[in-house]
């Protein structure tokens, strides 16, 4: 979240961070703390000099504000985006942000087992999914790291809609 509040992400990962902050109290709190820590580091001009200021922080003193894109995307989902079925039967929709798309799994549906050649950020917008590493609900941010393999599956009676943010890569990256 420090990279997020510092503005060091691509637009797709920025949107994922903003959604996490908007939909999750833990995401909003983490962003507020990292904003405060970043401010303390900037005030001191060094990591060593900031150690005292950071250790004495009592509560977040500043809030990182999510961009309008997160709210716009939530409204887009409420209106019903144009879903397209992929080769595996999973539905996807464009977000208007390069490197980010929506994924929809119907209750009980799963995506195929796949791996990651690079970092992927998934934020649950509606419903829940499980992938063998955990079960995730609305607002949760799930990071798929390089080499990680998983098989996301919607759980419960509700469709699961997620934002998936990826670094650009070739088609074959999904088969690692």
Q: Say which CATH number the domain at 90 has.
A: 2.60.120.10
110 and 165 both lie in a single domain: yes
Instruction: Render pLDDT for 71-108 as a digit per residue (tens, 0 to 9).
Output: 888 888 888 899 999 998 999 999 988 899 999 999 99
- The residue range of the domain holding 34 is 2-69
Distance between start and end Cα atoms, the chain: 27
Final residue before a domain boundary, out of 17, 35, 69: 69
Percent of the chain with pLDDT over 90: 37
Neighbour count for residue 27 (Cβ, 10 Å) = 22
Is 124 within the bounds of a domain? yes
pLDDT of residue 8: 57
Is 117 within the bounds of a domain? yes
What mean pLDDT is reported for the chain? Answer: 78
pLDDT of residue 82: 93
pLDDT bucket at 124, cuts 50 / 70 / 90: very high
48 and 97 both lie in a single domain: no
Residue 66 has pLDDT above 60, yes or no: no
Q: How many domains does the chain have?
A: 2
Cβ atoms 127, 158 nearer than 8 A = yes
């Amino acid at each position: 979240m420090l990279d997020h509040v510092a503005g060091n992400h691509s637009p797709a990962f920025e949107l994922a961070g903003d959604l996490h902050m908007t939909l999750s109290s833990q995401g909003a709190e983490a962003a507020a703390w990292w904003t405060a820590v970043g401010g303390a580091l900037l005030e001191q001009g060094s990591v060593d000099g900031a150690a005292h200021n950071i250790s004495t922080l009592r509560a977040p003193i500043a809030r990182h504000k999510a961009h309008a894109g997160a709210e716009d995307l939530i409204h887009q989902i409420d209106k019903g985006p144009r879903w397209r079925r992929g080769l595996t039967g999973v539905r996807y929709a464009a977000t208007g942000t390069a490197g980010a798309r929506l994924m929809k799994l119907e209750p009980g549906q799963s995506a195929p087992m796949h791996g990651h050649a690079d970092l992927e950020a998934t934020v649950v917008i509606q419903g829940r999914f499980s992938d063998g590493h955990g079960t995730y609900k609305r607002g949760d941010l799930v990071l798929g790291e390089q080499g990680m393999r998983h098989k996301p599956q919607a759980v419960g009676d509700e469709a699961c809609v997620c934002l998936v943010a990826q670094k650009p890569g070739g088609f074959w990256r999904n088969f690692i």
